[in-house]
Structure 1
């Protein structure tokens, strides 16, 4: 999805249809690419895949682009003809190839955001962190455990792979359900897991999943908290059921995301592929791809069709994505990922909305400076963040 997002932003920018928020987002990706070969590659591919709506005849645009590409590209690389927006396109290519770092001016601000003494320390981004509790009470800290077999449970081996993921391997995936295992990620952590049936699971920060080492003969049942994404292994004979709070999601084989953090207004189940049934004590519905079921604390359910899937799946793909998000919802995401505590000076919550995306690998100070482009200020003291008046 990151590849598609970059292609979308580059096309929008070159075609002159980019919003201000999208321009800021593209600038941040470009800035990040300076020390990220993978991202640099994606940006190059996005440029290569650029398709203008209207080609601009004449040689002026090619002369400019030739000068831009002179030192960076092989002499045989074909040049794209640009449309009437060629000045913006040429500037964008300079940024793409040089990785120039800059910040857009905030609304109503006369100067770029600069270093401030309010930032007294650096808080690093989260990473692969989780704790596994076995059925016998054994606790394994996964981020510090060595790769290889961590435990043997019946016919199933619990293995930490070289990629820092957990996998349940063996021929005991089904039978009599035995003692439950629980994986928990702390704030500032995320982790991947492959269940005994082959289902792949991604846990966001401050989340958990409880599951048996061997699923029952008639169903595959797990419980979660926080935010979890599933790619369920197909098995028509054994439905896969996820329970969280007052909501149960039933599938046979599909891809979906559940956001069930405490403090959110609703439990959100978003379907990316296949079909799922969402049940409460009072209602049930079947989702189609692209739909999202929202269940409130009282059990009331609604279904949304206009879901931004990039925003929903941004955490799994390694970035934040905000689509007209308010201040509290943005700060809740930062609290979970950076393991920080956020307070509002004088209890005043700024009436701001945020759009665009940024990498989750950025240190906290850079993220806050990006948010400050929207006329809001922060102070960092240890892991305590204050939103200033």
Structure 2
């Protein structure tokens, strides 16, 4: 069996969802070394000959997606699907999931605009200055009391304690990310926070007092440094989240607060309730009421790893994430009731994102002045 025949054989098993972990590993090796043009043509041929008559329900799609996730996690860590070219990463996963029959059709009724993915963009508002500092323009360095503030090209700002000087430590700074922006900050206590697009974090230069208190709007991923003497408190519009040392995300985009816990424990407090969370649980505060459920943590933290992860997600929720990252608006009134199972690199060109959305929903989209709408609900 020559190289092309072997690739054909493995790819068919992949599409039929019969590939073992070992075969999946070999397929990724073959795809990594294959000539890009031939591989892309092969995938497009599979898309074109797909059977559109097969009905796919959410439960079957969810089962296939879960099995694929398991296979990827079982493969040796040296083999990574996400090292493939962007189009191959998308097509490989989507075609595996869509072996049930939902595959690509023409997706746009208007000429696509040039829309690029987001990146490391943020501004820092210092209490001592009237205008925020654009962290994208140049390296930033500042000393406030015993705290040194520095930035890195990798989209990180770090507050480092250099001495016991407490001058100015209680001054509040605000880190803000725009649409299409993401940024990381290491606070003076060693806690790390990653801000998603259209988010802000208000925090003191240095933590001085009985607790460590910050304010969040938007979405962030927290890795809190342990300190039993100083609880870490995240204030949100709906209440607050208190921890000692743990890992979690908070999402406040939609008029509610969703806290997803990965490690440790947190305590949610609203005006009416107090609720403890365990790893794998999400607590939602809405209208002063807290509800808790087991959730898919991979989807909740996907953006922190540069991935959109959608497991049976409503189309509106998918496009809300996409719109913030690509800095577009969405006509939500035009959206039909669809749920998606997709996994995309966040550096995927926007046009390819639309192709994959069309593949999974069989919808056509229209872009006008950076506003996306559905034309065939």
Query: Quick check: TM above 0.5?
Result: yes
Determine whether 1:141 maps to 2:134: yes
Rounded to whole Å, the distance in 2 between the matches of 1:174 and 1:203 is: 28
Question: What is the aligned partner in structure 1 of residue 241 from structure 2?
Answer: 249
In proportion to residue count, which structure has more helix? 2
Instruction: Report if aligned partners of 2:148, 2:161 keep a CA contact under 8 Å in 1.
Output: yes
**1:342–1:381: structure 2 CA closer, same or farther, 3 Å change rule?**
same
Question: What is the aligned partner in structure 1 of residue 339 from structure 2?
Answer: 353
Alignment of 1:18-33 (within 5 A): none
**Number of equivalences:** 309
**How many Å apart are 1:186 and its aligned residue?**
0.3
**How many Å apart are 1:348 and its aligned residue?**
3.3
Q: Deviations over 1:305-327 (max 9, x none)?
A: 2x101000011111111111112
Rounded to whole Å, the distance in 2 between the matches of 1:198 and 1:366 is: 38
**1:352–1:211: structure 2 CA closer, same or farther, 3 Å change rule?**
same
Runs of 5+ unmatched residues, structure 1? 1-9, 36-45, 52-91
Question: What is the aligned partner in structure 2 of residue 302 from structure 1?
Answer: 291
Question: What is the aligned partner in structure 2 of residue 5 from structure 1?
Answer: none
TM-score normalized by the length of structure 2: 0.73
Instruction: Report if aligned partners of 1:193, 1:200 keep a CA contact under 8 Å in 2.
Output: yes
Instruction: Report if aligned partners of 1:106, 1:375 keep a CA contact under 8 Å in 2.
Output: no
RMSD: 3.5
Question: What is the aligned partner in structure 2 of residue 179 from structure 1?
Answer: 171
Question: What is the aligned partner in structure 1 of residue 6 from structure 2?
Answer: none
Question: What is the aligned partner in structure 1 of residue 351 from structure 2?
Answer: 365
SS of residue paired to 2:142: strand
TM-score normalized by the length of structure 1: 0.71
Higher relative contact order (CA 8 A, sep 6+): 2
Instruction: Report if aligned partners of 1:248, 1:278 keep a CA contact under 8 Å in 2.
Output: yes
**1:223–1:120: structure 2 CA closer, same or farther, 3 Å change rule?**
same
SS of residue paired to 1:336: helix
Determine whether 1:291 maps to 2:278: no
Determine whether 1:273 maps to 2:260: no
Rounded to whole Å, the distance in 1 between the matches of 2:242 and 2:165 is: 18
Rounded to whole Å, the distance in 2 between the matches of 1:136 and 1:186 is: 22
Question: What is the aligned partner in structure 2 of residue 78 from structure 1?
Answer: none
Runs of 5+ unmatched residues, structure 2? 1-10, 37-70
SS of residue paired to 2:193: strand
**How many Å apart are 1:48 and its aligned residue?**
11
Alignment of 1:44-193 (within 5 A): 50=75, 104=95, 112-114=104-106, 116=108, 118-137=110-129, 138-146=131-139, 149-171=140-162, 177-193=169-185
SS of residue paired to 1:120: coil
Q: Deviations over 1:28-62 (max 9, x none)?
A: xx79x988xxxxxxxxxx889649xxxxxxxxxxx
